[in-house]
């Protein structure tokens, strides 16, 4: 495409809405809980069900987009999210809201799994890094502005109004994508010719849902609890059956022979390790800033927003430069900057102010921008454009899984340190009124976590180096 700006802006509006949506609903959970007089463990399924539904649908919907067209599935997904979000604002029970959240998750999975492939299809092959860098810039802007926008709506109006606004924006985004996006990827497959591995999709859903639930429950009730062990066994059985099925099926959902490509396999491995290593900072720093440092949620929003803006700027710049110099140096730089950020956070104490926190958070956020575009350029550039949809969905799944596993392991480490120091091994009872000695144990625990994350990132550098360099396409 010679003029990708207008279609990119149309896609960006949808991506921005999806990012704001997830962050906004997270902020709305306390208001929803009070409105329906439901306990937090029930209310959290509004978000948990949404995330699980996204994770389960990402890979199947992405593969379908490769067969039927990226734009078609993207627009259908945005429309489904928009309509169900709007009607969710009329929910008269927490149960109905949870059910609609599950449906919303399917639509979001359709959108997330195809948005990156759709962006790539409107840029020239030699501009892949620029396209993905701009993509992560939009995600960064949405991450920074989302909590501020949602916070304003929730403070001024009700949670229902937030759903109505998000639904309306989603409808506008779907219409913009339908009218303004023209893509080279238009499938000629008709429904009667359509063949899809539904059994493989079901097995993958069992595997990924079990993995995420293992990560969730393992950090709460212990990884050796019979319930956790049972769920993890179900997950392993699902993944093992999925791999066997994909190797035997004539038209698999994902071609596992791609992993024989060193650039592809090293890129995927680096992607997973990066999000395992960095997820701990984004999970624990809000706890530290509110409970230990005593900042308000609004102040924390500005601190986290500064990091998101740094991610947006770094993403746009490094994505563009990776087209000229290749993704290798930027992938390594992302790991290095993230490791430096976590190293800074290992110096936190109960007396630390926002200065040290914002330095560490800006470094880890900037590292996301440096790493994301070039890394995804390496992965997607090593496969045929016919597989961009399913691989984009696979990368989103890899990121979500890496983050969930990283947070689960981090929580287990932090609470274990607290237990070793003689305090209750839980984060749920921590408040601003908690004694200084307990807060000190918590801080010591997250410092161990940040050291562990630094070690994981150093391992990631080794993986990138072993994978080798990607040949820059200048055509």
Burial (Cβ within 10 Å: 0-12, 13-18, ≥19) of residue 198: exposed
208 and 148 belong to one structural domain = no
Query: Is 395 part of any domain?
Result: yes
Indicate the residue among 252, 271, 287 that finishes a domain.
252
What is the C-alpha separation between 150 and 166, in angstroms, rounded? 10
Q: Is residue 308 part of a domain?
A: yes
What is the 3-state secondary structure of 402-439?
HHHHHHHHHHHHHHHHHHHCCCCCCCCCCCCCCCHHHH
Q: What Cα–Cα distance (Å) separates residue 200 from each residue in 30, 65, 206, 234, 258?
A: 38, 16, 10, 15, 17
Rounded Cα gap, residues 16 and 328, in angstroms = 28
**How far apart, in whole angstroms, are the C-alpha atoms of residue 174 and residue 189?**
23
Q: Are residues 275 and 351 in the same domain?
A: yes
What pLDDT score does 240 carry? 92
C-alpha neighbours within 13 Å on the C-beta side of residue 260 = 3
Q: Which of 226, 252, 278 is the last residue of a domain?
A: 252
pLDDT at 151: 76
Question: Domain range for residue 41?
Answer: 1-195
Write down the residue that tokens 């990827």 correspond to: 185
Instruction: Compute CA 28 distance to the chain's CA centroid, rounded to the nearest angstrom.
Output: 19
59 plus 107 within the same structural domain: yes
Say which DSSP state 470 is in.
P
Asked if residue 232 and residue 127 are part of one domain, the reply reads: no
**Whether residues 108 and 159 fall in one domain:** yes
DSSP assignment of 246-303 equals: HHH-SS-SS-GGGGGSHHHHHHHHHHHHHHHHHHHHHHHHHHIIIIIS---HHHHHHH
Q: Single out the residue in 167, 195, 223 at which a domain terminates.
A: 195
Same domain, 114 and 231: no
Domain contains 341: yes
pTM of the complete model: 0.82
Same domain, 248 and 301: no
Spans of the chain, pLDDT less than 70: 1-2, 40-41, 183-196, 219-220, 297-298, 427-433, 470-475
Instruction: Classify each residue of 1-12 as buried b or exposed e, where b means 16 or more C-beta atoms within 10 Å of its C-beta.
Output: beebeebbebbb
Are 176 and 208 within one domain?
no
Looking at the fold, whether 36 and 165 belong to one and the same domain comes out as yes
The tally of CA atoms less than 13 A away on the side-chain side of residue 100 is 20
Claim to verify: residue 287 and residue 229 sit in the same structural domain = no
On the CB side of 41, how many CA atoms lie within 13 Å of its CA?
4
Rounded CA-CA distance 307/374 in Å is 19
Number of domains in the chain: 3
Cβ atoms 430, 291 nearer than 8 A: yes
Shared-domain flag, residues 94 and 186? yes
80 and 182 part of one domain: yes
Digit-coded pLDDT (tens) for 276-322: 999 888 888 887 887 888 877 667 777 777 888 888 899 989 988 98
Q: What is the CATH number of the domain that holds 331?
A: 1.20.1250.20
**Residue 43 covered by a domain:** yes
What burial letters (b/e) apply to 79-118, b meaning 16+ CB within 10 Å?
Answer: bbbbbbbbbbbebeebeebbbbbbbbbbbbbbbbbbbbbb
Q: Is residue 475 part of a domain?
A: no
Position 475 scores a pLDDT of: 47
C-beta of residue 32 within 8 angstroms of C-beta of residue 159: yes
pLDDT score at 44: 74
pLDDT given at position 341: 95
């Amino acid at each position: 495409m010679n003029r990708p700006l207008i279609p990119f802006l149309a896609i960006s509006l949808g991506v921005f809405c999806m990012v704001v949506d997830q962050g906004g609903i997270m902020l709305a959970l306390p208001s929803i809980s009070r409105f329906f007089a439901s306990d937090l463990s029930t209310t959290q399924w509004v978000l948990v069900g949404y995330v699980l539904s996204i994770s389960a649908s990402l890979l199947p919907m992405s593969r379908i987009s490769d067969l039927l067209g990226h734009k078609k599935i993207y627009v259908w997904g945005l429309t489904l999210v928009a309509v169900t979000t709007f009607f969710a604002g009329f929910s008269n029970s927490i149960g109905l809201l949870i059910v609609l959240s599950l449906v919303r998750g399917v639509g979001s999975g359709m959108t997330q799994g195809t948005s990156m492939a759709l962006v790539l299809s409107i840029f020239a092959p030699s501009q892949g890094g620029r396209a993905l860098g701009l993509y992560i810039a939009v995600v960064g802007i949405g991450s920074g502005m989302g909590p501020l926008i949602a916070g304003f709506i929730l403070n001024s109006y009700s949670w229902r109004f937030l759903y109505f606004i998000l639904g309306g924006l989603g409808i506008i985004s779907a219409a913009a994508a339908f009218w303004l996006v023209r893509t080279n990827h238009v499938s000629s497959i008709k429904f009667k010719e359509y063949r899809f591995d539904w059994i493989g999709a079901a097995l993958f859903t069992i595997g990924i849902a079990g993995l995420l639930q293992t990560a969730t429950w393992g950090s709460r009730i212990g990884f050796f609890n019979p319930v956790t062990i049972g769920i993890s066994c179900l997950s392993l059985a699902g993944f093992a059956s999925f791999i066997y099925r994909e190797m035997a099926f004539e038209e698999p959902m994902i071609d596992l022979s791609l992993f024989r490509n060193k650039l592809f396999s090293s890129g995927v491995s680096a992607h997973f390790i990066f999000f395992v290593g960095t997820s701990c900072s984004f999970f624990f720093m809000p706890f530290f800033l509110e409970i230990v440092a005593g900042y308000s949620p609004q102040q924390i929003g500005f601190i986290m927003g500064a990091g998101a803006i740094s991610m947006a700027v770094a993403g746009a710049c490094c994505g563009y430069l990776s087209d000229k110099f290749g993704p290798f140096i930027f992938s390594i730089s992302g790991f290095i900057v993230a490791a430096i950020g976590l190293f800074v956070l290992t110096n936190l104490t109960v007396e630390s102010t926002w200065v040290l926190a914002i330095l560490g958070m800006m470094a880890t956020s900037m590292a996301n921008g440096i790493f994301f575009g070039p890394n995804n350029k390496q992965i997607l550039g090593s496969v045929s454009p016919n597989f961009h949809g399913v691989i984009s969905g696979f990368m989103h799944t890899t990121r979500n899984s890496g983050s969930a596993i990283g947070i689960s392991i981090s929580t287990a480490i932090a609470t274990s340190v607290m237990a070793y120091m003689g305090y209750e091994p839980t984060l749920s009872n921590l408040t601003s009124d908690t004694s200084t000695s307990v807060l000190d144990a918590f801080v010591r625990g997250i410092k161990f976590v940040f050291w562990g994350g630094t070690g994981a990132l150093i391992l990631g550098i080794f993986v990138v180096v072993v994978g080798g360099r990607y040949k820059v396409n200048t055509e």
